[in-house]
Structure 1
Amino acid sequence: MVRASAARIVQEGLTNVLKHAGPGARAEVDVAMRPDALTVEVRNGPGTSRPPDVLPSHGQGIAGMRERARAFGGHITAGPAEGGGWRLTASLPVPRESRSECRVAGRFA
């Protein structure tokens, strides 16, 4: 269940990059299993121009991700990244009995 929630948070984070960062923005995703939590981070740099008004935005993306993280006792931080762009980090506690489910880790760009 934690793994599925982490995947949805990454998906929504990447959707936000597409909606708000603009063309040419590079996105990176880091996934790490800490001793007691699964941590995911979605970062993007600035785009080369203003994002097109192609995808509708209802302003609920980060709020929805926070709610999803809180449901597992986790938390989200989101804000401007150094050098421009945006950084979203989610930490989701993983019960000891579920840790084998969350063995995926790495960096994806």
Structure 2
Amino acid sequence: DADGESPHPQPGLDRLGELVEPLRAAGLKVAVRREGIDSAGPLPAGVDLSAYRIVQEALTNTLRHAGAGHAQVTVRASSGVLELEVLDDGRGAARTGNGAGRGVAGMRERAAMLGGTLDAGTRPGGGFRVHARLPLRGAR
């Protein structure tokens, strides 16, 4: 586009259904839970896009690297914070056990740009967990 704007809108959490469909078609059983998100009002654009991208990366990692059969995505808005949790039943982080790959680093950077946090690592008993907290107040 000559004005530097994309003709396609940036994705947000309202498009989680579109995000998980190809993963389901590839054999990953994905459950999505939304808690308080619909009553939180419109999310700041940066939070909405970053939240979508964090979930996208976490699920992509699950499909590509974890050998998982199931994943659960929880999106929760409460007390001025958007929380994202992606759990899977796969092998967890193969080498380090703490999710120190580039994808995890990118998710952490996205969260930090918004003043949030992201923790990722192997779950006790197996699988992997990505948990992000993104502030809604003061976000652009």
TM-score, reference length from structure 1: 0.72
TM-score, reference length from structure 2: 0.57
> How far does the alpha carbon of each residue in 1:59-109 deviate from its partner, in whole angstroms, 9 at most, with x for none?
3100000000000000000111132010000000001687xxxxxxxxxxx
Structural RMSD (CA) = 2.1
Within 2, Cα distance between the matches of 1:42 and 1:19? 15
1:77 has 2:119 as partner: yes
Q: Which portions of structure 1, spanning 4 or more consecutive aligned residues, are displaced by more than 6 angstroms?
A: none
The 3-state SS of whatever aligns with 1:84 is coil
Q: How many residues align?
A: 87
Distance 1:97 1:78, change over 3 A: closer
Indicate if the aligned counterparts of 1:74 and 1:90 stay in contact, CA closer than 8 A.
yes
- Structure 1 counterpart of 2:52: 7
Distance 1:11 1:97, change over 3 A: closer
Within 2, Cα distance between the matches of 1:11 and 1:79? 17
- Structure 2 counterpart of 1:31: 75
How far apart are residue 46 of structure 1 and its match? 2.4
- Structure 1 counterpart of 2:61: 16
